[in-house]
Structure 1
């Protein structure tokens, strides 16, 4: 049977409700014979793939979730080549209501249970809000907001019962300010950060790490796919590698930070966005998120 991992100082938290030791033992008994696993949604490429690699390098059993079978297979092979460890591939569309059950079943087949959930799957939209189709907007909300909310809600109770585990929700530095020309994307990530910080506060001292990751620009295909590759911020703000973001995410998540901002420059930008009034920051972000051809027409 696995031992409780809630630290001794958890009981000193001012509003911590002492755990029922018998209930914790029963919850751990339910997963006896199974190994804890890290599950990374959107784990077949970009930041998700890099985070999966970092957990594998640290010795965690790790599963990656994606809906593209070919890309998923390639990612597993890449992880094996770079780490020497086998990642579990879970083919699943996480926007489906049954996604959590699909993930749990796949883990159980491999002798695992969900211990740490990384909600990384997400999408973006660039350009004026009024130009986006209703289908694209609702797809963004379904993936960035609804899916993160649902998977977090479904995973958290069992973690609290066991008094161990964690949830890492991948947001964006853009969550700190309204984002003209990426309005829905910035708003969705603001929701993720607010939700995560609130849940972390509600469950402080319960042995479960809950954190939001706020990366700035990263050298992945994400910006190009959302139609933002030519936006001014891509030329002016220094990007980080996905590996650097993953290393920072792993380090500070294991340390227990609730909000993780990778990179010194991004930390400075994050603090500035918190301090400066929107009257200054929103026009700046509007300018940074515009495309050069839009400036030429203005």
Structure 2
């Protein structure tokens, strides 16, 4: 990523320019001798694994993060077989408050530093809101909201100081509308999109890409894991492969798009959901997300 001149106002305030130059110099000294890396949370399967593959194929040093050492080892072997490149593995629970420190330490030991962060890890919950256990809701909020916020906040300042890098937050097409029968999940992704777009506006022109990815249904185990495999949307709405989503996400991110919606049909749904009133869309989404009674 190319460096850009300092903002115009610093030329009117030399002391501000000097301070910013000191920050840039220090941030670059902090990673001297290290290579930039892409870090993908939830990178051992699904969209995360496909994103890691796409960055590896583009020649980027890449690290994948997950809680399971066994899952990471298998993912690393698969990526090596597919791309011919090694990937760094980081065993870490991103819901822990020291997750970024753990990730940074592992990267540094491998001669790397965090340059691009892909916040992909997350979980879903299907069914009526009142049916969910309190601990399950807390886990969803911790992973989908708190962890994304904490990792983004921790990773962003050094990127801005170095005037390079980026953050790609994986949300969902469901972020655009309330989701009866997946209420907490849809709400958590709405938060991610709102946060990402706001940060992208705040950091515009500072050579750091900040994007939100809004995929529709994807053919991974995610829907089954959350108990939504029998929901009507799985039979009605078109699904994409994780590889196609990753390819679209990579292109959009490199172009600097703030919001990335993979697939023509999903783009149509995105526009429709943005402009149609909730009085129409929420009942439709309720119907799509409901599960047949057993």
What TM bracket, shorter-length normalisation? over 0.9
In structure 1, the residue matched to 2:203 is 203
User: Aligned partners of 2:8, 2:259: CA distance in 1, in Å?
Assistant: 22
TM-score (norm. length: structure 1): 0.93
In structure 1, the residue matched to 2:131 is 131
2:2 maps to 1:5 = yes
2:146 maps to 1:149 = no
User: Aligned partners of 2:262, 2:223: CA distance in 1, in Å?
Assistant: 18
Secondary structure, aligned partner of 1:262: coil
User: Aligned partners of 2:25, 2:138: CA distance in 1, in Å?
Assistant: 42
User: Aligned partners of 1:96, 1:6: CA distance in 2, in Å?
Assistant: 33
How big is the alpha-carbon RMSD for the aligned residues of Structure 1 and Structure 2?
1.6
Once the two structures are superposed, the pairs formed by residues 144-183 of structure 1 within 5 Å of their partners are 144-183=144-183
Once the two structures are superposed, the pairs formed by residues 69-148 of structure 1 within 5 Å of their partners are 69-148=69-148
Q: Tell me by how many angstroms 1:30 deviates.
A: 1.8
User: Aligned partners of 1:174, 1:11: CA distance in 2, in Å?
Assistant: 36
Q: Tell me by how many angstroms 1:22 deviates.
A: 4.2
Q: Tell me by how many angstroms 1:28 deviates.
A: 1.3
TM-score (norm. length: structure 2): 0.94
List per-residue Cα deviations over 1:259-283 (Å, max 9, x = no partner). 0000000000000000100000000
List per-residue Cα deviations over 1:18-40 (Å, max 9, x = no partner). 96334323321221110000000
Structure 2 spans left out of the alignment, 5+ residues: none
User: Aligned partners of 2:23, 2:154: CA distance in 1, in Å?
Assistant: 19
Secondary structure, aligned partner of 1:293: coil
In structure 2, the residue matched to 1:230 is 230
List per-residue Cα deviations over 1:163-190 (Å, max 9, x = no partner). 1100000000000000000000000000
Q: Is the 8 A contact 1:171 1:192 kept in 2?
A: yes
List per-residue Cα deviations over 1:186-219 (Å, max 9, x = no partner). 0000000000000111111111000000000000
Count of residues in Structure 1 that have an aligned counterpart in Structure 2: 287
List per-residue Cα deviations over 1:51-88 (Å, max 9, x = no partner). 00000000000000000111110000000000000000
Q: Tell me by how many angstroms 1:11 deviates.
A: 5.1
Q: Is the 8 A contact 2:4 2:163 kept in 1?
A: no
User: Aligned partners of 1:99, 1:11: CA distance in 2, in Å?
Assistant: 33
2:5 maps to 1:27 = no
Structure 1 spans left out of the alignment, 5+ residues: none
User: Aligned partners of 1:105, 1:23: CA distance in 2, in Å?
Assistant: 21
Secondary structure, aligned partner of 1:211: strand
Q: Is the 8 A contact 1:6 1:208 kept in 2?
A: no
Q: Is the 8 A contact 2:123 2:226 kept in 1?
A: yes
Secondary structure, aligned partner of 2:100: helix
